[in-house]
């Protein structure tokens, strides 16, 4: 199902106004923060990993409404997934942002990314959370707080 641009905008606005999993976790397995050199925006991702799966995820964004909305969508998509699957998502988003992945098949709220390709100036905001997630998944055995 392909959504029209109006509905995609509504999805982004709803996620920006009511972000999912943007609060600091009381206990987590690992965390990393990414700082965008382009915008100065930051995103801190915290994961609670149990049995190689993301039991809980939090993405705390200091940045644009788009960056906050994309972080909310990412959290909703990844909670409950295996960390290996989450890593595949990071690779896919990176390929998409670099123009190496054409016409991805994304479902649900992830469909907003299909429209964002038309706004290259917003790519930094759209990928901020995924870059932070990539950092934390690169060091999944790190024990920050528990």
The model's pTM is 0.89
Residue 50 pLDDT exceeds 60:
yes
Confidence of residue 30 (pLDDT cuts 50, 70, 90): very high
Yes or no: say if 80 and 100 are a contact pair by the CB < 8 Å rule.
no
> What three-state secondary structure class fits 130?
helix
The residue behind tokens 């960056």 is 67
Confidence of residue 141 (pLDDT cuts 50, 70, 90): low
Confidence of residue 4 (pLDDT cuts 50, 70, 90): low
- For residue 127, the cross-strand partners are none
pLDDT for the residue 129: 97
Yes or no: say if 58 and 25 are a contact pair by the CB < 8 Å rule.
yes
Q: CATH second-level architecture of 5-138? A: Alpha-Beta Complex (3.90)
Q: Whole-angstrom Cα distance, residue 70 to residue 106?
A: 14
């Amino acid at each position: 199902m392909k959504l029209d641009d109006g509905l995609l905008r509504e999805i982004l606005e709803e996620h920006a106004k009511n972000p999912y999993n943007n609060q600091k976790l009381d206990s987590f397995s690992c965390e990393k923060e990414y700082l965008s050199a382009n915008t100065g925006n930051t995103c801190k991702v915290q994961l609670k990993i149990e049995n190689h799966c993301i039991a809980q995820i939090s993405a705390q964004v200091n940045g644009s409404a788009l960056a906050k909305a994309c972080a909310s969508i990412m959290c909703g998509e990844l909670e409950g997934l295996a960390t290996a699957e989450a890593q595949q998502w990071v690779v896919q988003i990176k390929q998409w942002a670099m123009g190496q992945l054409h016409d991805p098949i994304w479902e649900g709220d992830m469909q907003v990314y299909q429209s964002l390709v038309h706004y290259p100036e917003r790519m930094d905001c759209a990928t901020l959370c995924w870059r932070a997630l990539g950092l934390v998944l690169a060091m999944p055995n790190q024990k920050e707080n528990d």
